[in-house]
Structure 1
């Protein structure tokens, strides 16, 4: 996508990876940058919709401190199980959880992310507490899932996808409103009888105060490159779907996300700091 943006904008596009603190380090750096349209971040919506409820000291205001350039793609999460779980799908897993509440646990790639709260929502829906096991990344969680240390993992679809092809783990549900095209035989949570629907998205953001004409230039380039069939295919291979949204629509999506996550985070009792 960045190569395509370079062509569309007719200028260099430089990637500067800033890992750490669940995207918060990079986000705060963008917040402090000049509002000239030259410093942007490609990030998922979690720091802008969920973290405001789970962190006391974010260091930024998710609404006032940023300019939304546009949405890039949609994505959902997956429920994957390993050999510790019973054969079958969500129905069999839920029956097993109810029969073995002391063994009912799930892992995700980090504390305070969507996977943790999706698990607590599933737990609430069936009335059985489940233990949350935080990992420092998806790979360690996946290793324990395949090894039978935990029965279930909730994370991005891409995380367990390759291992599921080898049969070491199984993806038994996804969290979106509809089934994924790449996993047509995997039902959604709602199809499985759990009234939980969670969809996430990737967006491009800049610091507050970027001039309107600059925003229009950037979002116009973004919209143009996302029409590319090649780029759409590449995004699809990452278990996402290309989905442009304007700055205004991205702001509405963010507002809806902020409202959506307040209740589940509060109900879980979780606070990161």
Structure 2
């Protein structure tokens, strides 16, 4: 009887840590609605990270204020790995130059964990623009200033300023039309309400493949693997590049050992061929970097955007 009792107690004792591990979960916040590129990539990674971390990983959309609400919540979270944020770089490197009172410092108030993807943007024409290449559409816009509009997923975003750089470099004044997300912008592009759109390729790539819109150029230094027949802006005669990244961050004060563990889980996920292929198909590029390198990349992007944003005179409300 004693041996059976001891065995039962031992089984309970061994099962307790396992139960606690199963009960624990990591929540990855997304500051934008479901269906966008950040949301899709985060869910791809979360599915694999569950295996590496040994507990549930949940993607939680907290849209609002162009990602600022989710960042503020992350800053306030406990540094125990239970709350993280998967953020596009714009919220981290553009917003500091736009808002006087963000409520957080994008460098000091977050712990860089992993770079997961880099990406550029697609310049897409809809049925409201004439047929032809980018030069043809820009020439039409110059001749029709009342129709020279470009849509993006929101004011104060990287696509907003990428479009501004395009307008300046081409010598074609264009009016920015800001939407609350890439999906509604794409719908108006398809409907002919706006002739041009600048945003992540994920918003228009399937419509491009279906022939509803035409991706005229990408803003990166190289052609997109998902769009090999689409030229870059430089190949189209516009001497600018604009790119961005997705990174996983945590609240301030996370233990280095915990950061390394989560970073390894992201690295494991990115090594999976099916994950890489899915990311490429979205028009993005899977990219691997740890905490220190992610911090350096963020700092470089922060510096890069300072001058054009200040020169634009744009201030967020």
Smaller-chain TM-score bracket: over 0.9
The aligned counterpart of 2:65 is 21
In structure 2, distance between residues paired with 1:160 and 1:226:
24
- Determine if the alignment matches structure 1 residue 239 to structure 2 residue 290: no
Greater gyration radius: 2
Whose RCO is larger (CA < 8 A, sep 6+)?
1
Structure 1 residue 100 and structure 2 residue 144: aligned? yes
Give the match for residue 260 of structure 1.
304
Which residue of the partner structure matches residue 147 of structure 1? 191
Does the CA contact (< 8 Å) of 2:112 and 2:294 recur in 1? yes
Q: Could you tell me which residue of structure 1 aligns to residue 247 of structure 2?
A: 203
2:121–2:199: 8 Å Cα contact kept in structure 1?
A: yes
Query: 1:214 — aligned with what?
Result: 258
Structure 1: state its 5+ residue gaps: none
* Superposed displacement of residue 72, structure 1: 0.6
Alignment of 1:169-208 (within 5 A): 169-208=213-252
Higher helix fraction (1 or 2):
2
Q: Can you list the C-alpha shifts for 1:165-193, whole angstroms capped at 9, x where unaligned?
A: 22221100011111011111100111111
Is the Cα–Cα contact under 8 Å of residues 142 and 173 in structure 2 kept in the other structure? no
Classify 1:3/1:128 alpha carbon distance in 2 versus 1 (closer, same or farther; 3 Å).
Answer: closer
> Deviations for 1:29-49, whole angstroms, at most 9, x for unmatched residues?
110111122211111111111
- Structure 1 distance, partners of 2:58, 2:184, is 31
Match of 1:49 in 2: 93
Q: Look up the match of 2:109.
A: 65
- Partner deviation per Cα, 1:223-252 (whole Å, 9 max, x = no partner): 122111111122223221211111111111
Q: What are the Cα deviations for residues 35-93 of structure 1, in whole angstroms up to 9, with x where unaligned?
A: 12221111111111111112222111000001100101111110000122222111212
**2:235 & 2:124 partners in 1: Cα distance?**
16
**Runs (4+) off by over 6 Å:** none
User: Residue 83 of structure 1 contacts residue 146 of structure 1 at CA under 8 Å; is this kept in 2?
Assistant: yes
- Note if contact 2:108-2:252 (Cα within 8 Å) is conserved in structure 1: yes
TM-score computed with the length of structure 2 as normaliser: 0.83
| Aligned equivalents of 1:17, 1:185: Cα separation in 2 | 34
